[in-house]
Structure 1
Amino acid sequence: MAEEDNQVEDQEQTASGKKKWLIMGGAGAVLVIIVVIVVWLMMGGEEPATTPQASSAEAPASQSAEETAQVGNALYVGMPRPFVFIVPGDARERTVQISVQLMVRGEQSEELTKRHIPLIEGTLHEVFSSSTADELRTAEGKQRIRELALQQVRSALESVTGQGLVEKVLFTGLVMQ
C-alpha cells in the first residue's frame, strides 16, 4: 500500500513539474514575441537617411550654405580632457573646470574634427580663460561664452580645413570653485 502511495505522489510531482515547465516556456515565448514586435515597430517607422552628398545635389539654389550644412546625422566629439583655468572674480580668483563636447554633422566632419582636436582645445582654452566668474554664474553669460567659443572654433577650423565643421559647442560639465 505504501508503494502505491509513493507511485501516485511521483506521478503527481511529474505532472506538476511538466505544468510548471509549460507555463514558463509559454511565458518566455510571449516575452520573445513582445520584444520582436517592439523592435519591429521601432525599426519600421524610420525613413532611410539621405547622405549629405545626395541631398546637397538635390538642394535648391535658394538654399543657403548654412542649411546644407545641417544635413546628416548629429555626432558628438568629446574633448579628451576637461578645461581647467583661473578666472577673475569679485573678491578673489576662481578655478573653473568645463567639460565640452562638439556637435558635428556627418562622419566626415567627425573625422576632420577629431583630427584637429589640439587646435580646437587651444581655441577653446583662449575663449574660456578670457571669461570672468560673473559671466559663468549666469545662464546668459554661459550662453554668450558658448556662442563665442563656437565662432572661434569655426573660424580656426575654416582657416585649416576650409569648413566650419562644428555646429554647436556643448558644456557637459561646469564646476567653479
Structure 2
Amino acid sequence: MADDAVENEEAQGGGKKKMIIIIAAVLIILIGGGAGAYFFLMGGDEPTTEMVDGETLPGEEVEPEEQEAEEATVGDAFYVGMPRPFVFNVPGYGRDRLVQIKVQLLVRGGENDTAARKHIPLIEDTLLTVFSSSNAEKLSTNIGKQELRQNALEAVQKALEPIVGNSVVEQVLFIGFVMQ
C-alpha cells in the first residue's frame, strides 16, 4: 500500500509538470504570434526618402503629392475576363487540332477597365482572328504561346487605339489553354 501511495504522488507530480510545460509553451506561442502580428501590421510607416546610389539622403523626403501623382499615372490593375473561352481549329501535322483558350486582359485604371468592358465584342473578334491564324506546331511550345500572347496584345492595342484614344490593354493573359 505504501508503494501505491508513492506511485500516485509521483504520477500526480509528473502530470503537474507536464501541465506547466504545456501552459508555458502555449503562452510563448501566443506572445510570439501577437508580437509578430503587431510588427507585421504596424511596420512600414516610415517616411519615404530618396535614394541616390543606394544611400538615403537625409532631409529629402518625397512629397505626398508627388507620390499620389505617380500612383495615379500607374493606376490600379483590373482584370477583364472574356465572357467565354475561345474555341477554334488550327492546322497541324497530319490533322487539324482543336484549341480552347480562356483569356483575361490586364488593364490599368478605372477608365481603361470601363473602356475594355465596353468593347468586349471588338476585343473578342480581334483575339479570335489572331488565334485562328496560328498553327499547332507553334502552339505546342512555350515560345509559340508567348509569341501568340504578344501578337494578341499588339492586335488588341491596335484595334482599340483609334476608338478609345489609347492602348487600354497592358497584357493578354491565358488562364486556360487546351489543345487536342
| TM-score w.r.t. length of structure 2 | 0.66
- How many residue pairs end up in the alignment? 160
Query: Residues 68-104 of structure 1, C-alpha deviation per residue, up to 9 Å, x if partnerless?
Result: 7xx3344332223221111111111111011222222
Cα RMSD, aligned residues only: 3.6
The percent of aligned pairs where both chains have the same amino acid is 45
1:37 to 39, 63, 73: 39
- TM-score normalised by length of structure 1: 0.67
Are 2:101 and 1:98 equivalent residues in the alignment? yes
Matched, 1:142 2:145: yes
SS in structure 2 of the partner of residue 142 of structure 1: helix
- Any gaps of 5 or more consecutive residues in structure 2? 1-12, 49-63
**Distance verdict in 2 for CA 1:166–1:45, change over 3 Å:** farther
Specify the alignment match of 2:30 in structure 1.
28
Structure-2 separation of matches of 1:112 and 1:174: 26
Shift of the 17–133 alpha-carbon distance from structure 1 to 2, 3 Å rule, reads closer
Range with bigger deviation, 21-30 or 143-152: 21-30
- In structure 2, the residue matched to 1:128 is 131
Q: Letter of the 2:34 partner, please give it.
A: V
Matches of 1:24 and 1:169 in 2, distance apart? 49
Unpaired runs of 5+ in structure 1? 1-11, 58-67
Amino acid at match of 2:41: V
Aligned 8 A contact 1:72 1:106 in 2: yes
- Confirm or deny: 8 A CA contact 1:50 1:72 kept in the other structure: no
In terms of mean alpha carbon deviation, does 108-117 or 20-29 score higher? 20-29
Q: 1:17-53 CA deviation, whole Å, 9 max, x = no partner?
A: 8997686456434322211212333x447967945xx
Within the candidate set 95, 110, 115, 2:113 is matched to 110
2:170 to 138, 150, 167: 167
C-alpha distance after superposition, 1:117-170 (max 9, x if no partner): 222112111111121111212233222222221121112212321121111212
